[in-house]
A and B are shown apart, each in its own frame.
Chain A
Amino acid sequence: MRPFLDLFSLLSILKFLAAWMLLLSFALLAQRRLLSLIHLLAWQGITLALSTAMVAVLTGDRLLWVSATLTLSLKGLLIPFLLHRLLRRLQVRGDVEMSLNVASVQLLGIVLVIFAFALAAPLAGSLPAATHGMLGIALAAFLLAFLMMITRRKAISEVVGFLAMDNALFFGATSATLGMPLIVELGIALDALIAFLILGVFFFHIRESFESLDLHWLEHLRENQ
């Protein structure tokens, strides 16, 4: 089959998607509202699916199409939908409190991106020339998601951060190495889903015990006050 786009434009699209991924990570870091956080997560999932599809076109691997479809349905649609429903059922409203202000978190995020690229540079030598920047971006997105988990107080935003980390790992695996075995992918997807379910159960328990989803109540659980 002759590709309907030439290689150069395909790679450009992939790079554009990577940049978009990083931008979404920053947006997640900055966003205060829970509902918007979930939307951003959904966008990230869709981006991920698109980039997987691009890789599928690029390499001609049929299984990657399955993977892209799976990503789209699970990460782009199902999990955001579930989170959305959870938000409604738990009736969480308002903003997410952050332990640092947005500006400093963003600055910290930039430092992390530079760090991630510095880390990825020596590794990139072993990768296909076309995907040099991808590993850095994936690592940066991962660290940014981690930073987001650290700076948030509400339980739901922790889950969003966790899923964003998962997305970043996934992105790194598919884009930087141009595809990964379907079985690994299925495993990761299942893990994410299970983690989501467990955390969902925990939310209800946390709220039952403390009548709030604010995590600082958990500090009462430590020993030796």
Chain B
Amino acid sequence: MNALLPLQMALGAVALGPLASLGSLLPRLHPSWLRYTSLMTSTLMSLLWLLSGALGLILVAAPAPNLAVGGIPLWQFRLDPLSAFFLVVLGVVGTASSLHAVGYFRQLGRTGLRRVLIPLPLFLSAMALLLLADNAYTFLVAWEGMALSSSYLILAQTQTIQARHAAYLYLLVAHLGALCLLAAFALLCHGNPLAGNDFSALTHEVLAPGLAQAVLLLTLLGFGAKLGMAPLHVWLPEAHPAAPSPVSALMSAAMLPMALYGLLRIDWQILPPEGVSWGLVWLALGLLTAGFGVLFSTLQRDLKRLLAYSSMENMGLILVALGLARLFVAEGSPTLAALALSAGLFQTLNHALFKGLLFLGSGSVFHSTGTVDMGRLGALIRSMPQTTLLMLIGCLAIAGLPPLNGFASEWMLLQAFLLAPQMASGTLQAILPLTAAGVVLVLALASFAIIKAFGLSFLGQPRSIYTAHEAGLWERFAMAFLALGCIFLGLFPGLAIHAISAVNVLLLPGNSLGIQQPWRLTPISPERASYVPGWFLIGIAVAILLTFLLVWWRFGRPLRRVPVWSCGFRGARTARMQDSPAGFSQSLLRIFQPIHHGRIQPDTASKELRVELADPFWVGLYEPLQRLALALSRQALRLQHGKISSYLLYAFLTLVVLLVLVR
């Protein structure tokens, strides 16, 4: 088979994106035609990426296939295992989101549809182009395209003041990040990013140590802004809930990992990890992001905001895994580095599956009930049983329960931590167990948050009056696709690890993770901490069956139906007797009060307690910056008072000063 074929296939799919966007502009197209053709094209594109990514991971060619188009500027493309892995992530999420969107946008008219369907294929294409880019120019163009098209998508459905604010904030942070990246690439390419140096040429360049540090810092800021890394995360919890759900799923499950890809490409492949310090920085920032994200996730009332903060937590965990891998490389233990790196990448894939699923599900809930406010939802299991089942799979996966996929990657990460003391030096021996404890705390809180999300929305009694209906066929199909993915990767984690090993070979001096059997996860050796999800599945099934039989045999005959005990409360059982979102996380609200400065305020209109949270980074970092900027601008405004003679005086004084200085 031609080695170039996967790359050509992926590029062909990239080219379809702009065509689909242009196609949406055709006049007099019936809305449903418009919807089907455009979204089916998106699905086709995503499937092509999935296929080419999978081919790229399986058929690893010795020099990665590459292509170049154009003179100046030169577009260069390459498909190596790292790109291929992230292409698979993009393909999976893109397919599911496009299919879900067919159902989700079914009530939109032509204008509303165009708002979505013009930027959506461009967004997908930009992400794929980013992954295939092989020089600074192509990379930066794709990066900007991704930011621009997604900010249009945030505003596609709601143009409220909050949504516009969210889109503006997103664009602002994205551009700050892009500026950092531009500076980083300018340093990398010796001031000329347009010179057609492909990435492999950059790898061989030797940078001055100070310059390399600057590039590492700038890229961390640039990619961190997109990743939702802790001080730069402010846009994330605003933008994700504002966007339509298929877009939220794409942004959370596919776009955030693009920043991880960038970190791996620039900070790992081009500037190979040397020394411990940057590994520690990644570790610390990752843990901060994860802890912050998960804490805020538990306190949310809005389902989509909860999921958005949970994305932040997952990105933080992945950053922790990558930082750990970096530390291991610096410490000279490639086996453990491979373990941590695989854990991070596997978690990325898993996050794409279950977070995509949960965001799509929240979209179906919104479509069906008109709200994602958990203080209004409840008992969706009765009106949307199939959606509930699919969401349950996603929730179990994200909560990290075996035998689903979330457990497998988290298990690997924890194993990497547990094996650390054998290798690491003194300071690290002290730091790593603490970090591991932090990670475990994060995982526990993540389960708490997801129980809150599922329990309040799908179980119990409805907290307000609405008529919910089951999600449409397309929506359920898309969710089932992702749910099957969760189950499949949960049962056969070895397959994913085997595929990831191609990336390990690319990024690490040697891949020593050992051969994996598909049904079994072997972190280091079969004797130590290896995990067979199949046994778990059988065990759980047997336990459930036995309990059911026991209960049925002991209490089940004859079946009695009685009123539910209403806690001694006389009169009717009401929905208000259930936990409210604020009530559910009351303990965390109180324990972590110094961090989130949450205030509980009674809302007299709805007779509820409402929680107002304040982001400490916003209050402590952004607001002072904002005040400073405003004060400076006010001072600058003094210069502008409309007198031409003063303006001339400014010019005159500048001239005189320059003349004095230059002579």
Q: A: which residues have CB within 8 A of B?
A: 99, 115, 119, 122-123, 143, 146-147, 149-153, 158, 215-216, 218-224
- Establish whether residues B656 and A115, one from each chain, have CB atoms under 8 Å apart when the complex forms: yes
- Establish whether residues B652 and A147, one from each chain, have CB atoms under 8 Å apart when the complex forms: yes
Knowing A147-B652, A150-B652 touch, does A219 contact B663 (C-beta < 8 A)? no
The residue of chain A having its C-beta at the shortest distance from the C-beta of B659 within the complex is: A119
Bound together, the chains give a CA A189 to CA B640 distance in angstroms of 32
What are the residues of chain B within 8 A of A216 when measuring CB–CB? 643
- Establish whether residues B644 and A158, one from each chain, have CB atoms under 8 Å apart when the complex forms: yes
- Establish whether residues B642 and A220, one from each chain, have CB atoms under 8 Å apart when the complex forms: yes
Q: Contacting A146 at CB < 8 Å: which of B637, B641, B644, B648?
A: B648
The answer to whether the Cβ of B645 comes within 8 Å of any Cβ in the partner chain is yes
What are the residues of chain A within 8 A of B643 when measuring CB–CB? 215-216, 218-219
What are the residues of chain B within 8 A of A222 when measuring CB–CB? 640-642
Contact with A along B622-663 (1 / 0, CB 8 A): 000000000000000100111111001101100110011001
What are the residues of chain A within 8 A of B640 when measuring CB–CB? 222-223
Bound together, the chains give a CA A149 to CA B651 distance in angstroms of 11
Bound together, the chains give a CA A151 to CA B645 distance in angstroms of 7
A-side interface mostly? helix
What are the residues of chain B within 8 A of A220 when measuring CB–CB? 642
Sample (26) of A-B pairs whose CB atoms are under 8 Å apart: A99-B645, A115-B656, A119-B660, A119-B663, A122-B663, A143-B652, A143-B656, A146-B651, A146-B652, A146-B655, A147-B652, A149-B648, A150-B648, A150-B649, A150-B652, A151-B645, A153-B645, A158-B644, A218-B643, A219-B642, A219-B643, A221-B642, A222-B640, A222-B641, A223-B637, A223-B640
What are the residues of chain A within 8 A of B652 when measuring CB–CB? 143, 146-147, 150
What are the residues of chain A within 8 A of B648 when measuring CB–CB? 146, 149-150
What are the residues of chain B within 8 A of A146 when measuring CB–CB? 648, 651-652, 655
A202 to chain B, nearest CB (A): 11
Bound together, the chains give a CA A135 to CA B213 distance in angstroms of 50
What are the residues of chain A within 8 A of B659 when measuring CB–CB? 119
Bound together, the chains give a CA A219 to CA B647 distance in angstroms of 11
B-side interface mostly? helix
What are the residues of chain A within 8 A of B660 when measuring CB–CB? 119
Q: Contacting B637 at CB < 8 Å: which of A150, A153, A158, A224?
A: A224
What are the residues of chain B within 8 A of A149 when measuring CB–CB? 645, 648
- Establish whether residues A215 and B645, one from each chain, have CB atoms under 8 Å apart when the complex forms: yes
The residue of chain B having its C-beta at the shortest distance from the C-beta of A151 within the complex is: B645
Bound together, the chains give a CA A218 to CA B643 distance in angstroms of 7
Nearest 5 CB-CB pairs, A to B? A219-B642, A222-B642, A150-B648, A215-B644, A150-B645
What are the residues of chain A within 8 A of B656 when measuring CB–CB? 115, 143
The residue of chain A having its C-beta at the shortest distance from the C-beta of B643 within the complex is: A219
What are the residues of chain B within 8 A of A115 when measuring CB–CB? 656
Extra A-B contacts (15), CB below 8 Å, given A143-B656, A151-B645, A222-B640: A99-B645, A146-B648, A146-B651, A146-B652, A150-B652, A152-B645, A153-B645, A215-B645, A216-B643, A218-B642, A218-B644, A219-B643, A221-B642, A223-B637, A223-B640
What are the residues of chain B within 8 A of A219 when measuring CB–CB? 641-643
A143 to chain B, nearest CB (A): 8
A152 to chain B, nearest CB (A): 7
Bound together, the chains give a CA A93 to CA B648 distance in angstroms of 24
Bound together, the chains give a CA A216 to CA B642 distance in angstroms of 8
The residue of chain B having its C-beta at the shortest distance from the C-beta of A118 within the complex is: B663
The residue of chain B having its C-beta at the shortest distance from the C-beta of A219 within the complex is: B642
The residue of chain A having its C-beta at the shortest distance from the C-beta of B646 within the complex is: A150
Bound together, the chains give a CA A146 to CA B656 distance in angstroms of 11
B184 to chain A, nearest CB (A): 37
Bound together, the chains give a CA A220 to CA B644 distance in angstroms of 12
B635 to chain A, nearest CB (A): 13
What are the residues of chain A within 8 A of B645 when measuring CB–CB? 99, 149-153, 215
Most chain A CB neighbours (cut-off 10 Å) among B637, B655, B663: B663
The residue of chain A having its C-beta at the shortest distance from the C-beta of B652 within the complex is: A146
What are the residues of chain A within 8 A of B637 when measuring CB–CB? 223-224
B652 to chain A, nearest CB (A): 5
Bound together, the chains give a CA A150 to CA B648 distance in angstroms of 6
Bound together, the chains give a CA A125 to CA B660 distance in angstroms of 18
Most chain B CB neighbours (cut-off 10 Å) among A122, A143, A220: A143
Bound together, the chains give a CA A147 to CA B63 distance in angstroms of 68
